[in-house]
Amino acid sequence: MKHRWTFSILMAGALLVGTSCSTDREALGPTPAPEMSLSASPSVDTQIHRLIPQLFPGVLTRAAVFIAHEYIEWLYKKGKTALAQQKTLELVAFAFQRYANHQLIGDQSAATQAKLRSFVDLSFQLVGLGSAPIPPDALGPDGAVAIVGPTGGQVVTQSQLAGAQFPPGALPQNVIVTITRVTSEGNPLPTNLQQFPLFYEFKTFPEVAEFGELVTVGVCVLDAVVEDAEVPFGNLRVAHPLHSDPSAIEILPLADQGFIDQGSCDEAFGARQGFMNNLAGAGKSVAQDLFWVMMGAPKDLSATGSRRRLMPGGLGGRTGSFSTFGAVNFTGEFVPYQEQGYRYLIDATPPAGFQQPNFDASTWFSGSGAFGSGGAPCTFLESTIHTSWPAAGESPTEILLRKRFSGSAQNVQIHVPVDNDVQVFVNGVDITSTGGTVGEDGFLPHENCADPNSPFVFSVQNSSLLAGGNLVVVRARDRGSVSYVDVKVTGQLPEE
């Protein structure tokens, strides 16, 4: 038995290497076996056996995949789970490579995509990795799927409109990386900041919550949409929901990326056509070059220069986690007034540790700023109120607000218009005293209506900020008549 498996292993390795560069002649090999329905009743192993001749052309390739699959199953049954899972990822990577090279039966048709997704999913189930559902669009022309491991690598959509570059050490193990276009209507990022397509969802399987090294992501931004909004291209930054709190966004500092194709972005999504328009575009580009040189940019304005990082089309940033990415108009506000995604608690004795980042506020209510009661004499604020906070009656009433903001932040200030009093914490540290004279009860007092144009301003030391995301907690108190509180977080992004 030992000699038979040794021979099979050597044969599988030789065949997989030999067939990775197979010609189109092999792709026209023997007629594949008739397709069989994949019902729920056959075993996982049986379903994989049925799929192999439906996906892989050529006798040698098919035999190599069969042998590799049998070896993986044998390893798993012998209790060598880690090795079986490693070999499974290698086999899946081989299948992805054949798909990308148009070397599967049916090429890249919808039917082939469905079979390939099933093959991957079943192969993962076989060795205890759980279900590995590959999004259908990841195999489409505006998607990507690949295996990337600890040594790093690059994954780019076939359209070259989105991608990711993994440095060595970013991943702890081999994983499947998928990129799919977000096509649903509306803005997918959980923020009131202006946001601009295109949007892409990046995933890993098994999921990696935090990368060991920052990963560069890039997305195509539609010039026409940005121009219509009259937003300076220098304001654009890549952003995505925080992994630790999907109701908040991470705004990424600019990063060079070379895998977004500006020409493909323009051509695919309605760039200007015709000689005169192209001439006008060239003139505009020259004018922008001159502007950047006058502003002190290096004269080499190549694709890796500072100007290129700021141009719509290919916009890059570095991130510690994956989710949905797109561009936002960053003018120095990490959290604008009237932002969504707050956790809040009204008229309650503050629970112990409410200001700490690890406090569990999942049972609190969700709402958007501003919070207040409305009413005279502060009726001018009513249009900004999105969540009710009843005013005090015979005794004061309090509200607690928790909101996470970007980890890529420095020189942060917290702006709080309030009626009446407030305490502010960042990452558990009380910073109330940076905004004025604090009373014996720990609050900074305020009289009369709140004024968003003249709020309390609290400063945060850079040493108190955390790379993985920050938490601002506001405790506000109303002493009667009208209640109101809102929050704005401003600051800067670090230079690359």
* Tokens 């940076």 sit on residue: 434
Q: pLDDT band at residue 26, thresholds of 50, 70 and 90?
A: very low
**Among 399, 393, 374, 386, residue whose Cα is nearest residue 449:** 374
SS3 130: coil
The pLDDT tens digits for 410-423 are 999 999 999 999 99
The shares of helix, strand and coil residues in the chain, as percent rounded to the nearest 5, are 30, 25, 45
Q: Which helix (H) or strand (E) holds 245?
A: none
Q: What is the mean pLDDT of residues 200-221?
A: 94
Residue 262 clears pLDDT 90, i.e. is over it = no
The per-residue pLDDT of the chain, averaged, comes to 84
CA 436 to each of CA 74, 239, 427: distance values in angstroms, whole numbers, following the listed order: 70, 33, 20
Residue 393 clears pLDDT 50, i.e. is over it = yes
Burial 328-363 (b: 16+ CB within 10 A, else e): bbbeebbbbbbbbbbbbbbeeeeeeebbebebebee
- Among 197-211, 289-303, 349-363, the minimum mean pLDDT is found in 289-303
Which tokens hold the place of 258?
A: 């070379």
Which of the two residues, 266 and 102, has the higher pLDDT score?
102
Percent of the chain surpassing pLDDT 70: 81
Number of H helices, E strands in the chain: 10, 24
Give pLDDT, residue 258: 81
Give pLDDT, residue 64: 94
List of residues 6+ apart from 415 with CB closer than 8 A: 337, 455, 456, 457, 458, 487, 488, 489, 490
Give pLDDT, residue 60: 94
The pLDDT tens digits for 60-92 are 999 999 999 999 999 999 999 999 999 999 999
CA 139 to each of CA 99, 117, 181: distance values in angstroms, whole numbers, following the listed order: 9, 9, 11
- The strand ranges marked E within 129-220 are 144-148, 153-156, 162-166, 175-181, 195-205, 215-220
Q: What is the mean pLDDT of residues 458-471?
A: 94
Cα separation, 425 vs 458, whole angstroms: 10
Give pLDDT, residue 288: 43
Cα separation, 81 vs 74, whole angstroms: 10
Residue 47 clears pLDDT 50, i.e. is over it = yes
Question: Residue 23 half-sphere exposure, CB side, CA atoms within 13 Å?
Answer: 1
DSSP notation for 94-122: HHHHHHHTT-STTTT-HHHHHHHHHHHHH
408: amino acid identity, one letter: S
Cα separation, 244 vs 490, whole angstroms: 21
Cα separation, 327 vs 312, whole angstroms: 9
Cα separation, 82 vs 127, whole angstroms: 9
Q: What is the mean pLDDT of residues 436-441?
A: 94
| Crossing angle of the two packed helices 2-19 and 59-77, in degrees rounded to 10 | 140
End-to-end CA distance of the chain: 58
Cα separation, 311 vs 327, whole angstroms: 12
**Among 162, 311, 328, residue whose Cα is nearest residue 229:** 328
Pairing of strands 488-492, 333-335: antiparallel
Question: Quick count: other Cβ atoms within 10 Å of Cβ 37?
Answer: 6
Give pLDDT, residue 107: 96
Cα separation, 308 vs 314, whole angstroms: 8
Contact 93, 177 (CB under 8 A): no
Question: Quick count: other Cβ atoms within 10 Å of Cβ 444?
Answer: 21
Give pLDDT, residue 246: 92
Q: pLDDT band at residue 126, thresholds of 50, 70 and 90?
A: very high
Give pLDDT, residue 267: 60
Cα separation, 212 vs 259, whole angstroms: 22
**Among 346, 177, 353, 161, residue whose Cα is nearest residue 268:** 161
Cα separation, 413 vs 438, whole angstroms: 18
DSSP 254: B
481: amino acid identity, one letter: S
Which tokens hold the place of 225?
A: 């949409």
CA 81 to each of CA 56, 74, 75, 207, 299: distance values in angstroms, whole numbers, following the listed order: 26, 10, 7, 19, 56
User: In terms of residues, how long is the chain?
Assistant: 496
**Among 392, 400, 401, residue whose Cα is nearest residue 337:** 401
The pLDDT tens digits for 263-322 are 777 665 544 333 333 334 444 444 444 443 443 333 333 333 333 344 446 899 999 999
Pairing of strands 387-388, 371-372: parallel
Q: Is the dihedral of CA 315, 318, 324, 328 positive or negative?
A: negative
Give pLDDT, residue 444: 97
Q: What is the mean pLDDT of residues 350-378?
A: 95
